[in-house]
Amino acid sequence: MSMQESSSQGGVVELATRTAFRVWIDQDLCTGDGLCVDVVPEVFTLLEDGIAYVCENGAALNDPGMAESQAAVPDEHEKAVVRAALICPGECIFIENESLA
């Protein structure tokens, strides 16, 4: 989520909180259909084992995988990552959204 300004009564400007949007895959639940890769190949990949993994800066985060391998999601891919999580037949895509100070 990007910082956004909005005006409120009295002309005060409020800033929305910036969040760290991260994603990971539970490989034990992955069915290997590859729908996530079809939706946003910049963030997801299928490896030789037929299981999906997240990518960051073009590199698959497969060691160790699972929640220990969370990828930062660029702002322009946030909506696509949510869409991929919603259509995933294994329901294995998890999104972490933490507020930054």
> Which value, to the nearest 10 degrees, does the dihedral of the CA atoms of residues 42, 48, 49, 53 take?
-10
Percentage of the chain surpassing pLDDT 90? 70
Q: Looking at residue 11, what is its pLDDT?
A: 61
Nearest 5°: phi and psi at 75?
A: -50, -40
- Entry pTM: 0.79
Q: Where do the structural domains in the chain lie, given as residue ranges? A: 20-99
Question: Tokens in use for 28?
Answer: 């034990």
Q: Strands 71-72 and 93-99, how do they pair?
A: unpaired
Rg (CA), the chain: 16
The answer to whether 23 and 81 are in contact (CB under 8 A) is yes
Tell me the pLDDT tens digit for each residue of 18-63: 568 999 999 999 999 999 999 999 999 999 999 999 999 999 999 8
Question: Tokens in use for 79?
Answer: 């909506």
Q: Confidence band (pLDDT; 50, 70, 90) for 7?
A: very low
Q: Looking at residue 99, what is its pLDDT?
A: 72
CATH number of 20-99: 3.30.70.20
